[in-house]
């Protein structure tokens, strides 16, 4: 077991030496892979932050239930019980019509106009905070509450939620398309790099096969080359994203403060970072495997 481990370790060391035997070329390949991976991964990180903003904003959505003018105290108490039993509702606030009129006077300065009214024209109301943050579920809940006894109007503004969800859905599809296209490009880069490696070492491969080297033995260094190049490209992408997030953090915090929000730009999570590394390793390994499968079989000892 130790012999097999030391053999793999020697292959990795040899791969690194070969990769940086021409430092400029090796570093440029890694940087290109890093930049290509950082584009979809960076957009994904921004989308995750935007999703958090949407959830935070949607959580502040409230449904106002304006009651009929003939609703009595027993009707209001019964309605409160029904609302409390609804699992989709979080907080419930009752606003008596007298308080609503008082707030209207204080907020709009309409004391002279309202003083001339014989009766209070405002109804009693409930303001409920839904547990869900999705626009369609909010609409469904509003429709359900509209049918309750003594509810005259159930009011909810979800137009802005629909717009934000549509924008985020469009952005997610765009990121997915970009990730697929750039992944194919990175596989092609690794494929071509390994092909050049194989052509450069053609004579060496023929000699190795002539003295009994198996295909798996000959294939191993090239697969390691692709995997190492991929993982280094993933690390480069992570550094680019982290640097970009750091540069954007202060301007976004300032903008958030101007709008009275406490939004903070969060970097890639540990899970997302590991996924990025594993995905970049997979792309490098895939490109190398395809190239080896295509070109290595053509080289046979004479």
In degrees, rounded to 5, the angle at the alpha carbon of residue 181 between the alpha carbons of residues 177 and 187 is 145
- What would you report as the CA-atom Rg of the chain, rounded to the nearest whole angstrom? 32
Residue 137 has pLDDT above 70, yes or no: yes
- Average pLDDT of the segment spanning 248-261: 76
Residue 1 has pLDDT above 70, yes or no: no
Lowest mean pLDDT segment, chosen from 44-48, 97-101, 164-168: 97-101
Give the tens place of pLDDT for each residue, 89-122. 888 888 887 776 676 666 555 555 555 555 667 7
Give Cβ neighbours of residue 289 (< 8 Å, ≥ 6 apart): 223, 226
- pTM (2 decimals)? 0.67
Q: What percent of the chain has pLDDT over 90?
A: 12
Is 126 a residue whose pLDDT tops 70?
yes
Instruction: Categorize the per-residue pLDDT at 8 as very low, low, confident or very high, splitting at 50, 70 and 90.
Output: low
Q: Within a 10 A sphere around the Cβ of 126, how many other Cβ atoms?
A: 22
Domain 62-156: top CATH class: alpha beta
Segment 181-209 shows an average pLDDT of 81
Give how far the C-alpha of residue 300 lies from the chain's centroid of Cα atoms, to the nearest Å: 48
pLDDT at 237: 94
Domain range annotation of the chain? 2-57+162-298, 62-156
| Choice between 168 and 236, residue whose per-residue pLDDT is larger | 236
Give the model's pLDDT for residue 240: 94
Rounded mean pLDDT of 245-256?
83
Q: What is the rounded end-to-end Cα distance, in angstroms, of the chain?
A: 34
Per-residue model confidence as pLDDT tens digits over 52-87: 666 665 555 788 888 888 888 888 888 888 888 888
């Amino acid at each position: 077991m130790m012999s097999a481990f030391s053999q793999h370790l020697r292959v990795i060391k040899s791969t690194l030496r070969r990769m940086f035997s021409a430092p400029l070329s090796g570093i440029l390949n890694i940087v290109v892979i890093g930049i290509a991976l950082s584009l979809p991964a960076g957009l994904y990180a921004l989308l995750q932050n935007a999703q958090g903003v949407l959830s935070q904003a949607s959580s502040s959505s409230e449904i106002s239930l304006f009651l009929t003018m003939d609703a009595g105290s027993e009707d209001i108490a019964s309605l409160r019980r029904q609302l409390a039993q609804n699992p989709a509702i979080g907080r419930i606030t009752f606003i008596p019509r007298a308080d609503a009129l008082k707030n209207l006077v204080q907020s709009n300065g309409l004391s002279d106009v309202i003083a001339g009214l014989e009766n209070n024209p405002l109804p009693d109301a409930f303001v409920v905070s839904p547990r869900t943050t999705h626009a369609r579920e909010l609409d469904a809940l509003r429709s359900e509450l509209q049918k309750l006894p003594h509810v005259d109007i159930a009011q909810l503004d979800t137009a802005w939620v629909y717009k934000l969800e549509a924008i985020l859905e469009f952005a997610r599809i765009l990121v997915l398309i970009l990730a697929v296209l750039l992944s194919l490009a990175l596989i092609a880069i690794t494929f071509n790099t390994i092909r050049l490696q194989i052509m450069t070492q053609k004579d060496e491969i023929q000699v190795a096969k002539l003295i009994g080297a198996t295909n798996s033995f000959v294939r191993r260094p090239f697969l390691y080359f692709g995997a190492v190049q991929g993982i280094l490209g993933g690390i480069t992408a992570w550094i680019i994203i982290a640097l970009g997030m750091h540069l954007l953090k202060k301007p976004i915090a300032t903008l958030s403060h101007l709008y009275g929000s406490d939004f903070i730009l969060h970097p890639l999570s540990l899970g997302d970072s590991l996924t990025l590394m594993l995905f970049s390793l997979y792309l490098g390994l895939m490109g190398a495997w395809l190239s080896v499968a295509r070109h290595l079989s053509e080289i046979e000892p004479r």
